[in-house]
Structure 1
Amino acid sequence: MGKLKLLLKIQILGTFGLNKALHTDRAKAKRSIALFALAAIAVGVLCVGYSMGVAFSLAEFGLVDSVPFVAVLVGSLAGAMAAFLKTNGVLFAFKDYDIVMSLPVTTMEVVLSRLAALYAISLLFGAVAMFPAFGVYASYAGATAGSVAMMALSVFLAPLLPMAIAVLLAVGISALAARMRHANIVTVVLSIAAVLVIVVVPYAMMGQAGGDDAAFASLVAQQLSIMVSVLPPIAWASEGIAGANVGLFAAFAVVSVVSAVAAIALISNRFATINTLLMASRPQGAFSFDEGKQAKAGARNKLRAPLAALLSKEAARLVSTPIYLMNSCIGYVLVLVAAAAAAVASAFGMLPAELFEGEIGPLIGSFLPWAMAFFVGISSTTAASVSLEGKSRWLMYTAPVSSRTILAAKALLNLAIAIPTIVVSDLLLSFAFGVDPVSAALVVVIPVAVSVFVSVFGLAVDSRRPRYDWKSEYEPVKRSIAVMVTMLSGFVIVAVGMLVTALTGSIGAMILPIVLIVVSWLLFKNIASAPLQE
């Protein structure tokens, strides 16, 4: 148990580079902790507000007994998403694998310490979403002591089953991709498909209940009934809490715990084999004994301008690092899928007629740009791009180009992905909702301005606080303060933008993108004029 505690301590102190900061610069460590706490509180407040809003809405529509089901569902999804996106890099394919396994610890202790990190992340997100919803439920339903106990237990139990499934799914995808020639690309494609299934399928199943003009409360009840029928363990937990059915809740608890224990046993038994498979690399060079081909390749490289060469390098790193690509670009994928789904639904007459009538139509046109900007604001390849240079950062420092060119290439990569995505999504959404020309223009201008800002802001934060001593790409991508602060800035901009739009209308919505572009330009000039940090 003592060794397990030490491994857990290493995992915790490794988060956000706190261990290094504590042993080199305590003042910096305090600033890092304060910044992380501020960002965590801000995100937590947003999650609590959203959770309470959904719970109050269900209660007002007479669906109080459905609140526990939705709360446990959210906790389960938190476990699935956290485990799926973070398995590779935390549990598998970490670069200090040989060092860790040479320590006088058992494989089970290594597995438990790393699964505990995944579980803690899932539990944190789940608790922030579930407790407020349960509070609303208790205030409306007058929950008994037994229900309160089951609500508290469900927060700890909800992530277990989806975590076990998600970890095994992530390992299976990586193992399958590792046997193929373009392993990283296959991993990314399969991972994006899995995320879309996790996120989109619940909404698709709920949408199958719609298509008529029934009352909203009846529609929501019907949608939730579909979810209950296809997710028995969550339904058992909900019935246990709302119906005081201890037997069903016990069944939920047993299934959750047994699945987690089985996953731990399976992973521990195959831990070395799985890591060996995932960390196996195949040389993929362009070397050829044909001197003519080498000469042509060299000529092509010489003709490329420095900015184009650096942009190509950044794109290659993005594609070759699945966790980096998934974390920084999933927002673009989601908004594109959502826009395509809306366009298809509109083409087949599946969108409710109420969306185009009365006051709802103009409201959609006003706030649609900010809905897109939300997904763009949480997506930025720049927030980890400097730190990901890692041990190869000497190339940055010795290259015969200015820091402006190096940083511009990193920002341009994000914009090269964001702008086409935004334009295509705008065309699809404009067709789906029939927005007026001004709103259609804002659906492009606002998300592009937000993308420019988060690109430059993420670059500014990461270039000022780079973290080069990572052992897995997971650390700068998932444990980076720069990534968290950049995502938080996207949240804040969207919240402010929606408020300004609500108070001032289209005028404010037109002014804010101009402000963001100007601030981004001034910020880029500032970071480009300073030398890159070591």
Structure 2
Amino acid sequence: MVAVLARFLVPLNSLLAAGGARVSAAAESGKARHPLHAMVAKELRLWVATPTYLMNTAVGPALALLAAVSAAVAGPQALASAANVPGVDHDALAGLVSAAFPWVLGLCVAMTPLSASSVSLEGSARWVAQTAPVPSAAIVRSKVAANLLVAVPASLVAGVIASLSLAGGPADAALMVAAPVSCGLLASCLGVLLDARRPRFDWASAYEPVKRSANVAICVGAGVAASFAGGGATLLAGPCAGIAASMAMAALSVLAWKAASRVSLQDR
């Protein structure tokens, strides 16, 4: 996976430079851009232009897509055979694998949040955000939006692909999409809340806030716990309970986002 990302890093950076040229041309022509759009574009440019950031946060969505395609091709019976749990009926095991799979996708999406290090990565350039003529809430929204622009499309595509093979009914198909989307939403909002409250600007390499940050560790841990809780609810009470767990995660995400919006970034 790292090799694939590295292979396409140079073309991505070329596209980034081309995008900057197009933005400059648009500015010269007098075409106005919405501040949120500009800030989200800036976050995505930072993501693409920072190899450590890109390769460590793109892995989760990429794994979700890979897992969905593999499951769709292999089918639940093959997955049950690969699990090979002694003393468990093969058909029952296939059903358990299918029921838990939405939360496998959720785990993949939640374990590499962009937002958990997005404030810290401002580093010595944080004065730009501090002096920007926009409220802190708008900056927070841009960081969450950038994370969701990566996580949600991957979640939707992975969920739809996996549901073609593993979903036993409409509720299962809905959960196959809802679980990764809710996990991605929770990781995005919780990550920016943690990093806005306790950013780390004294780093010498982007590796430190991306891989060695307590904010990232806490956010990933919360995502893992949420995925296991959702999977447990689904296995014990069925897909409707899993959908309820997804809705609860969405509600917690809104609370985290509102809390992050109240953090002032100008005095950091």
Q: TM-score range by the shorter chain?
A: 0.7 to 0.9
Does residue 338 (structure 1) correspond to residue 165 (structure 2)? The answer is: no
1:303 aligns with one of 12, 20, 32: 32
Aligned to 2:85: none
Question: Is the 8 Å Cα contact of residues 184 and 322 (structure 1) preserved in structure 2?
Answer: no
RMSD of the alignment, in Å?
3.3
Q: For structure 2, which runs of at least 5 residues remain unmatched after alignment? A: 83-89
Does residue 185 (structure 1) correspond to residue 12 (structure 2)? The answer is: yes
Per chain length, whose mean CA-contact separation is higher, i.e. which structure has more relative contact order (CA < 8 Å, sep 6+)? 2
| Cα 1:316–1:296 shift into 2, 3 Å | closer
Aligned to 1:318: 47
Aligned to 1:431: 164
- Whole-Å Cα distance in 1 between the matches of residues 209 and 11 of structure 2? 18
> Alignment partner of 1:303: what SS?
coil
Matched letter for residue 298 of structure 1: E
Matched letter for residue 38 of structure 2: A
Does residue 388 (structure 1) correspond to residue 215 (structure 2)? The answer is: no
1:422 deviation in Å? Answer: 1.2
1:507 deviation in Å? Answer: 3.5
Q: TM-score, normalised by structure 2?
A: 0.84
Does residue 417 (structure 1) correspond to residue 244 (structure 2)? The answer is: no
Aligned to 2:109: 376
- Whole-Å Cα distance in 2 between the matches of residues 428 and 498 of structure 1? 19
Q: TM-score, normalised by structure 1?
A: 0.44
- What does 1:475-486 align with in structure 2 at a 5 Å threshold? 475-486=208-219
Aligned to 1:261: none
| Cα 1:364–1:392 shift into 2, 3 Å | same
- Whole-Å Cα distance in 2 between the matches of residues 446 and 502 of structure 1? 13
Aligned to 1:530: 263
Does residue 517 (structure 1) correspond to residue 250 (structure 2)? The answer is: yes
Matched letter for residue 366 of structure 1: A
- Whole-Å Cα distance in 2 between the matches of residues 506 and 500 of structure 1? 8
Does residue 450 (structure 1) correspond to residue 158 (structure 2)? The answer is: no
Matched letter for residue 140 of structure 2: L
Percentage of pairs with the same residue: 34
- Whole-Å Cα distance in 2 between the matches of residues 481 and 336 of structure 1? 27
1:286 deviation in Å? Answer: 6.0
| Cα 1:343–1:499 shift into 2, 3 Å | closer
| Cα 1:488–1:419 shift into 2, 3 Å | same
Question: How many residues end up aligned between the 2 structures?
Answer: 258
- Whole-Å Cα distance in 1 between the matches of residues 209 and 80 of structure 2? 46
Question: Is the 8 Å Cα contact of residues 156 and 181 (structure 2) preserved in structure 1?
Answer: no
2:238 aligns with one of 480, 485, 505: 505
- Whole-Å Cα distance in 2 between the matches of residues 509 and 285 of structure 1? 41
Q: Summarize deviations over 1:394-416 as a string: whole Å, max 9, x none.
A: 11011111111111111111111
1:502 deviation in Å? Answer: 3.0
1:439 deviation in Å? Answer: 0.6
Aligned to 2:87: none
- Whole-Å Cα distance in 2 between the matches of residues 329 and 364 of structure 1? 25
1:358 deviation in Å? Answer: 3.7
> Alignment partner of 2:134: what SS?
coil
Question: Is the 8 Å Cα contact of residues 184 and 319 (structure 1) preserved in structure 2?
Answer: no
Q: Summarize deviations over 1:79-128 as a string: whole Å, max 9, x none.
A: xx9xxx7xxxxxxxxxxxxxxxxxxxxxxxxxxxxxxxxxxxxxxxxxxx
- Whole-Å Cα distance in 1 between the matches of residues 12 and 19 of structure 2? 16
Matched letter for residue 10 of structure 2: A
Question: Is the 8 Å Cα contact of residues 110 and 220 (structure 2) preserved in structure 1?
Answer: yes
Matched letter for residue 503 of structure 1: L
